[in-house]
Amino acid sequence: MPIVVAVTVGRHGAIRYYEPADLPLGRDDMVVIDTPQGAVVGRVVQGPRNVPYNQLPAVLLSVTRLATDYDLERHHRREELELRAPEVVVSKIEYLDLPMKLVEVQADPDADRIIVYFAAEGRVDFRTLVRELSEILGVRVHMHQIGARDHARIIGGIGSCGRETCCRTWMQNFEPVSMRMAKDQSLFLNPAKFSGSCGKLKCCLRYEYEGDDDHDHLDQQVHDNDSPPVLPDTWHS
């Protein structure tokens, strides 16, 4: 298993794994990482540790460097904008009586653009909102409508297992989940019981389903060959 560190960006950012790149990193260290929006400052929330391959992204990136004073100054400007913007956005949504709900506001590394994540039942004409927000905040505004799963990932929460939701902590991507997965595990088909905070089927139904498939496959090998099977590298008990 590779050695990685867990890093989060922003107040509500999901945890992502990165290679430490031989840096002496520990919890709460501030580091620079590359994102689609550019180089940003993140905080290490878990120090170097081994993580199974099936919990890692297909392409594992490395921490770029420890954050400098200049990096931290840019980071603080970004944080200030992210703290100020939501109140303005909510007040304008209410004033314009738009059928949408603000989920989160994220600022670009240079604090010259914000991304407004929102939830809505259908399409929303937000052109007036964008224009007024840009005038008040003095930045470019990009609107991004998200679904229930992404909403839950941003907000976070505690699952019925008593642990913080997987999508908020270690999950990299959302995989399809179906009631067939519950049925094949001989679980009582109660949609309410299997629904997560997003209102969709719990992602852990897929973990157990895949685990059962692995065990069934290994049991069949033992039965067919009458000898212990060779475990695949990515299989973990």
Check which CATH number belongs to the domain holding 142 and give it. Answer: 3.30.300.20
**Shared domain check, 143 and 183:** no
Percent of the chain with pLDDT over 70: 76
Residues paired with 16 in a beta bridge: 7
| Overall number of domains in the chain | 3
Which residue, chain included where needed, has tokens 């120090």? 47
- Token pair belonging to 65: 């460097």
Domain boundary among 125, 148, 171: 148
Which residue, chain included where needed, has tokens 């685990």? 211
Domain boundary among 15, 37, 67: 67
Q: Say which residues have a Cβ less than 8 Å from residue 158's Cβ, sequence separation at least 6.
A: 164, 165
Q: Give pLDDT tens digits for 39-68.
A: 899 999 989 999 888 778 778 889 999 999
At 204 the three-state DSSP class reads helix
**Shared domain check, 101 and 61:** no
**Shared domain check, 40 and 12:** yes
Residue 173 in domain: no
**Shared domain check, 190 and 136:** no
**Shared domain check, 189 and 144:** no
> What pLDDT score does 113 carry?
94
Residue 236 in domain: no
Domain span at residue 198 reads: 179-225
Residues 108, 137: contact at Cβ < 8 Å? no
At 142 the three-state DSSP class reads strand
| pTM for this predicted structure | 0.65
Whether the pLDDT of residue 228 is over 50: the answer is no
**Shared domain check, 58 and 13:** yes
Residue 235 in domain: no
**Shared domain check, 88 and 132:** yes
**Shared domain check, 91 and 40:** no
Q: In what order do the strands lie in the sheet with 101-107?
A: 101-107, 113-119, 140-145
Alpha-carbon 237 to chain mean position: 25
